[in-house]
Structure 1
């Protein structure tokens, strides 16, 4: 019997598409729910502001923020995700020397 392939090394194939916002291009190919559309818009806004970061990095940050705020009441999540992602990207952006 062959050893099972670790989950991080397996290829999910087309029948199992990516399920995180980090897979930003995937989310652009489906009809998004209101929640997903909000996160896509958040990534777009943050990408304009944080041009020094790759779009995939911004999408991963937004996705991680959403997961970190899983216990927050649903109605507050979208705004809090954007604020938290903004703060994390601000902290990760090198400051220009004056």
Structure 2
């Protein structure tokens, strides 16, 4: 996958990831959640897409397969959801709707 600049040149916020460009062989990252007796633990994983069937992709991390919805994975070089939450999401190319005003 080619390196892509995810920062908008106009507003300097992060551009949303186009997940339709994710293909077999791409490196992607995702978060897993583990429930413990009194809390939840989150872990970030990075692996390679080996199959895509509809909205589900199979990602292999250290010989273990994970089946994730395509909207839950991001290209390895892309910002993660926490980055979008902290620094903002670019809306320069989005048409203004009455709800945005």
Shorter-chain TM-score category?
A: under 0.3
More strand as a share of residues: 2
More helix as a share of residues: 1
TM-score by length of 2: 0.23
Higher relative contact order (CA 8 A, sep 6+): 2
